[in-house]
Chains A and B, each alone.
Chain A
Amino acid sequence: MSKPAIKAEGLVKSFGATQVLRGIGFEVAPGEVFSLLGPNGAGKTTTVNICATLVRPDAGRVSVGGFDVTRQPGRVRAAISLTGQFAAVDGLLTGRENLVLMAKLRGLKRGRELAADLLDRFGLAAAADRRADTYSGGMVRRLDVAMSLVGDPAVIFLDEPTTGLDPEGRLEVWRTVEQLAAGGAAIFLTTQYLDEAERLASHLAILREGRIVADGTLTELKQMFPPAQKEYVEKQPSLEDVFLAIVGETGQTGQAGQTRKAGQAGETGKNREERRPT
């Protein structure tokens, strides 16, 4: 087992009288996509902010990339990138300028080359020299994600990266996450969408009222619940089925009828589904 990319132990954090985290711990390995799930206000963003050196924990320890977040924040910052809930791009700068700025702030040379490469990868080459405030929501988010990849950080925090994205934009972010994890980066993903976590995460934890109530792989989490049960639901034929059965079979219908029937076949499959008792 390699050294963990993130290791948190006994994290406690309160804001005023509200106790947000009540002693949580978890480990994320390099190349792993770790997804922290939980309802709004469960403490997901606070956990990300502590790991990303933005918020100091009241108690507990976190090491990221082997460095302690409170004692060596500078080393941690050099190893991470953070994509927050709001696309943090400078609207008055062009996409290219935003990326070059990131390279400068990370002390990298060849910022323009890096920027050109990322613009290509994220399908922003055509809009590279337009101000980012003229971009669509999906483009801004792509630029935002691209900006956090400048300098190949070893640990990437993505705090609800697909909120407000159209389905195509979501898919693009998903593909990027998969590529990054395949490249060996550790990814800490928070999301509202369970399908997103199910698709991307190799390791999940569920946060509830400041505590982690479940932690494991998707298979492990599924095993914590009673086994899947098959339920058979009697399917009543619809008028359309009846109609198609009568008309369609005799070969009297045209092309439209055939297409309709093909579509319908997919639908019927859904009537028999796996259900879990809740």
Chain B
Amino acid sequence: MKTLRDTAALLGRSMRHIARSPDTIITVTIMPIMMMLLFVYVFGGAIETGAANYIDSLWPGIALIAIATGVSYTAVRIFFDKQKGLFARFRSMPVARPAILWEPVLTAVVSNAVSVAVIGLAAALMGFRPRANLAGWLIAAGVLALFTVALAWLAVIPGLVAKSVDGATAFSYPLIFLPFISSAFVPTATMPGPVRAFAEHQPVTAIIDTLRALLAGQPPGSAVVSALAWCVGLAAVAHGAAVMVYRRL
């Protein structure tokens, strides 16, 4: 109860941050939108995916890249709160301990939801036509939210230990790169053996296959189980590690 109340109070503060300083959301959406333009209008003609509409199969990968970019701001927010002493202030107050770390994680969910929605609208202008029903949309949104929670918990760790802003954001580069070695842009069957093996067994492929199926209005099959397992597993491990780091501060 107290945890919920404190989380809500802290979340109110970061929602004001998002509203007053929307530049982070703009920064997060620009790069994925540029990539979308590049893949659809430059590379797209040469990529044979078998899909009737390339942007429909491309969009999930772009959304994941946006989320991976967005969570680097989670680390940055924690880093600056810590540097400015706000973090110590909250820690020295009778604030429920989980609320202090859930605030940035839930903030990431909200700000990335806005970013993904903006990218979705941009994609719609470029011909993105999802055919998901309500249940499909809800599951897709849930998978994206869980993916965000998992990566945001991962971001908490560098946010707490980094000595500089650059250090706090460096962790996100490999995450941004992960969708490239997946089914996001080109079919994995076109990749050489070891790369293909990696691509087919990494979490991003399972998530992308799930989103693609859902947005096409098809049942996602076993991919959704694998996608959820990856997200929940990663979130649990990252959460455990983040709490451990926090306790040692």
Contacts and interface: CB of A to CB of B under 8 A. Distances in A.
Contact of A88 (B5, B9, B89, B249): B89
B122 interface: no
B95 to A, nearest CB: 5
A104 B20 CA distance: 21
B21 A92 contact: yes
A127 interface: no
B5 A107 contact: yes
Contacts of A32: none
B222 interface: no
15 contacts: A53-B92, A54-B91, A54-B92, A77-B93, A86-B83, A86-B84, A87-B85, A92-B21, A93-B13, A101-B12, A104-B9, A105-B10, A105-B94, A106-B93, A148-B89
A105 B16 CA distance: 16
Given A82-B92, A106-B93, A107-B5, A101 B13 contact: yes
Interface of A: 49, 52-54, 74, 77-78, 80-82, 84-93, 97, 101-102, 104-107, 131, 147-148, 157
B12 to A, nearest CB: 7
A49 B17 CA distance: 28
Contacts of A107: 2, 5, 94
B6 A105 contact: yes
Nearest to B248: A56
Given A86-B83, A90-B13, A105-B10, 11 more contacts: A77-B92, A77-B95, A78-B94, A84-B85, A88-B88, A88-B89, A89-B86, A97-B16, A105-B90, A106-B93, A147-B89
Most buried by B among A80, A87, A101: A101
Interface in B225-249: 249
Contacts of A87: 84-85
Interface string B107-130: 000000000000000000000000
Contacts of A90: 13, 86
Given A93-B13, A105-B9, A131-B20, A84 B94 contact: no
A102 B13 CA distance: 11
A75 B13 CA distance: 25
Chain B: number of interface residues, binned into ranges: 20 to 34
Contacts of A101: 9-10, 12-13
Nearest to B89: A88
A92 B91 CA distance: 20
**A-B complex: 5 closest residue pairs judged by Cβ atoms:** A88-B85, A104-B9, A82-B92, A86-B85, A78-B94
B85 A85 contact: yes
A77 B94 contact: yes
A86 B83 CA distance: 9
Contacts of A105: 6, 9-10, 90, 93-95
A109 B7 CA distance: 17
A49 B91 CA distance: 11
Contacts of B16: 92-93, 97
A202 to B, nearest CB: 24
Contacts of B17: 92
A106 B9 CA distance: 10
A164 to B, nearest CB: 13
Given A92-B17, A131-B20, A74 B92 contact: no
Contacts of B12: 101, 104
Nearest to A86: B85
B140 to A, nearest CB: 32
Given A93-B13, A101-B9, A131-B20, A54 B88 contact: yes
B248 to A, nearest CB: 10
Contacts of A106: 93-94
A80 B92 contact: yes
B89 to A, nearest CB: 4
A89 B83 CA distance: 11
Contacts of A131: 20
Contact of B94 (A52, A74, A93, A148): A74
Interface string B66-84: 0000000000000000011
B6 A88 contact: no
B165 to A, nearest CB: 16
Interface string B88-108: 111111110000000000000
A49 B89 CA distance: 11
Contacts of A97: 13, 16
Contacts of A147: 89
